[in-house]
């Protein structure tokens, strides 16, 4: 990724939302509880099921995000959107079928996430997603830290975490370990974010 020589990221918002007040948030706040939607990969035209929720980051969480997105202003107003794509296989296992599904879900999440972020950026807000494989931002300049999807989701949603040797396995309350996690971030308001996400929903009968 090319390093910008400017002191201002091109993805710093033109306008800011009112996600936070002057009072610092000592705890992250859930603005929308886990919600399941049907959406579609516009490249492959395959539908997939996704759960997302919206959270206003606490001041401590926001400070940690600053090391992931160092050039982003208004990071204290950042909304965090943990997502889980429902899978057929238990992704903790190994094998060709599991590897193929991981690749498919990565493509599904990145395609969906880029669409959401582009719509929000078109409205003048900063928005980004992190690569689930590397933890680095897709659009913004990299910082010294990566974003851990699993640990972030556990902190925001209090989902169970199972320790299996050197691995930490998140257990989704509905889907167990048959999930693929990813995360979006934006300084847009939760109302605008929900509106943009609603535009990606497809019905069961829609192809």
Q: Where are the alpha helices (DSSP H) in the chain?
A: 59-66, 96-122, 149-157, 190-198
Q: Is 167 helix (H, G, I), strand (E, B) or coil?
A: strand
pTM of the model: 0.86
Asked whether residue 15 is assigned to any structural domain, the reply reads no
Asked whether residue 84 is assigned to any structural domain, the reply reads yes
CA distance linking residue 63 with residue 53, whole number of Å: 21
pLDDT number for residue 17: 53
pLDDT number for residue 205: 62
Asked whether residue 182 is assigned to any structural domain, the reply reads yes
Asked whether residue 119 is assigned to any structural domain, the reply reads yes
pLDDT number for residue 31: 97
- Segments forming the whole domain that contains residue 121: 29-198
Determine contact, residues 58/26, Cβ cutoff 8 Å: yes
10-residue averages of pLDDT along the chain (207 residues) = 34 46 73 98 96 96 95 90 97 91 97 98 96 96 96 94 77 96 97 97 73
How many domains are there within the chain?
A: 1
Asked whether residue 3 is assigned to any structural domain, the reply reads no
Asked whether residue 129 is assigned to any structural domain, the reply reads yes
pLDDT number for residue 49: 98
Phi-psi region of 8 (alpha: psi -120 to 50; beta: other; left: phi over 0): beta
Asked whether residue 142 is assigned to any structural domain, the reply reads yes
Asked whether residue 80 is assigned to any structural domain, the reply reads yes
């Amino acid at each position: 990724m090319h390093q910008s020589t400017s002191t201002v990221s091109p993805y710093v918002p033109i306008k800011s939302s009112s996600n936070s007040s002057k009072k610092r948030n000592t705890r992250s706040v859930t603005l929308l509880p886990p919600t399941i939607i049907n959406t579609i990969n516009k490249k492959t035209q395959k539908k997939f099921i996704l759960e997302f929720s919206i959270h206003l980051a606490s001041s401590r969480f926001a400070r940690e995000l600053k090391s992931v997105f160092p050039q982003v202003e208004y990071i204290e107003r950042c909304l965090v959107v943990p997502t889980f794509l429902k899978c057929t296989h238990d992704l903790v296992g190994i094998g060709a079928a599991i590897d193929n599904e991981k690749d498919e879900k990565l493509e599904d999440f990145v395609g969906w996430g880029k669409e959401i972020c582009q719509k929000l950026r078109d409205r003048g807000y900063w928005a980004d997603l992190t690569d689930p494989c590397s933890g680095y931002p897709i659009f913004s300049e990299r910082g010294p830290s990566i974003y851990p999807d699993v640990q972030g989701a556990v902190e925001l949603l209090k989902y169970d975490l199972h320790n299996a040797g050197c691995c930490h396995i998140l257990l989704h309350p509905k889907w167990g370990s048959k999930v693929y996690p990813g995360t979006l971030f934006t300084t847009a308001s939760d109302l605008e974010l929900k509106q943009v996400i609603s535009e990606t929903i497809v019905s069961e009968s829609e192809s």
